[in-house]
Amino acid sequence: MLKILIIAGARPNFMKVAPVIKAITAHNARCREGDVRVNFSLVHTGQHYDQKMSDIFFQELGIPAPDINLGVGSGSHAVQTANVMTKFEPVCLEQKPGWVVVVGDVNSTMACTLVCSKLGIKVAHVEAGLRSFDRTMPEEINRIVTDSLADLLLTPSSDADENLKREGIPESKIRLVGNVMIDTLAANLQKARSSGILKKLGLQKKAFAYVTLHRPSNVDDPANLNSIMSGLNRLADHMPVVFPMHPRTHKMLAQFGISPVANGTMKILEPVGYHDSICLTESARLVLTDSGGLQEESTYFRTPCLTLRPNTERPITITLGSNRLTHPDRLSSDIQETLNGKEELGQVPPLWDGKASERIVQALVEHNHVS
């Protein structure tokens, strides 16, 4: 019996843990006598806690209710990280897991990894090896710390393997398993297509832009946020702009006194659920985002994507996929160029095949044998 704790903390984690949990259940159902069964508990750190940032994903993706909720909530990076650590340590001491599985690059990912490495508990990191090479991003710090401490690095693409090897991580710890986000996307495609959001918002396929923004570099800087909002208002003169707003963005707009034009074509919404988001991504003429997940989901659908960042830790979405970087200063001209181009771009990268979570469970079981 292999006992593991799976950690989920913030919105982008939920679509990564869902398929791993399903793959564990399927693995156990296939086990014969003598095979290693996997016994898991799900720990929600509570980094995201709103219905629309957390609960809806559990409902839509069929994730079981967390066995343990640490309830850490919001705070500065130090406060949030420290709260996860102090609340997670006693859980580890009591549960004594063989492995802890962390996903992505949020504060909870790094905090739980740090706790385990000091307690001698092995950590597997799903979505290891991604690098933006931009240490001003809090997520880049989380990635570097997590990967340097983890025992098993489960990577989505070969660029991630190269990054890890360059950092001196032994090849024996690295397993290329593919993109686990795509497992969830493939499993939910039918539900997403019947989400009803297009009808509800009066949208025509390939005739609107889908926008999400939440990175501190875009939304915590008044000049950048102002110029992005002006670019979006100009775009809304030409086509509907669907903009479900992250709480951080909401807060910063209010703080800087910037009011988006809420006319008929600029549709500012509360955060949307997973199925609606996937439906919007597939149907949009253009995605404009600073999210890592949306860069990947656009690439899967070959929907043209403009990423409002100077870099990306997901270069494959540019080299193979439909993604391109942009900047607030040239947003309008990049939008125009994209709208003049093709409706479908790029190719789907290798191992974005809906089977990454099966390979993850396989890797965990095998590494349990050798360690």
- For residues 10-39, which are near ligand UD1 according to CB under 6 A? 10-12
Sequential DSSP letters for 173-237? GEEE---HHHHHHHHHHHHHHT--HHHHHTPPTTSSEEEE---HHHHS-HHHHHHHHHHHHHHHT
Distance CA 100, CA 179 (A): 19
Q: Binding of ligand UD1 at residue 287 (CB under 6 A)?
A: no
Q: Binding of ligand UD1 at residue 44 (CB under 6 A)?
A: no
- For residues 221-250, which are near ligand UD1 according to CB under 6 A? 246-248
Distance CA 21, CA 35 (A): 18
Q: Binding of ligand UD1 at residue 260 (CB under 6 A)?
A: no
Contact 139, 314 (CB under 8 A): no
Q: Which helix (H) or strand (E) holds 2?
A: strand 2-8
Count of positions on this chain that bind ligand UD1 (CB under 6 A) = 20
Distance CA 366, CA 34 (A): 14
| Span interacting with ligand UD1, options 5-13, 124-132, 198-206, 222-230, rule CB under 6 A | 5-13
Among 5, 15, 43, 106, binds ligand UD1 (CB under 6 A): 106
The minimum distance between CB 216 and ligand UD1, in angstroms, equals: 7
Among 45, 83, 107, 188, binds ligand UD1 (CB under 6 A): 107
The reply to whether 27 belongs to the active site is no
Distance CA 200, CA 184 (A): 24
* Angstrom distances, CA of residue 292 to CA of 64, 114, 139: 25, 23, 11
Distance CA 314, CA 140 (A): 12
Exactly one of 214, 246, 275, 367 is catalytic; name it.
Answer: 214
Q: Quick one: 127 or 334, whose CB is closer to ligand UD1?
A: 127
Binding mask 197-226 for ligand UD1 (x = CB under 6 A): -----------------x------------
Q: Binding of ligand UD1 at residue 49 (CB under 6 A)?
A: yes
Q: Quick one: 255 or 333, whose CB is closer to ligand UD1?
A: 255
Distance CA 223, CA 227 (A): 6
Binding-site ranges for ligand UD1 (CB under 6 A): 10-12, 47-50, 53-54, 74, 105-107, 138-139, 214, 246-248, 251
Q: Which residues are catalytic?
A: 214
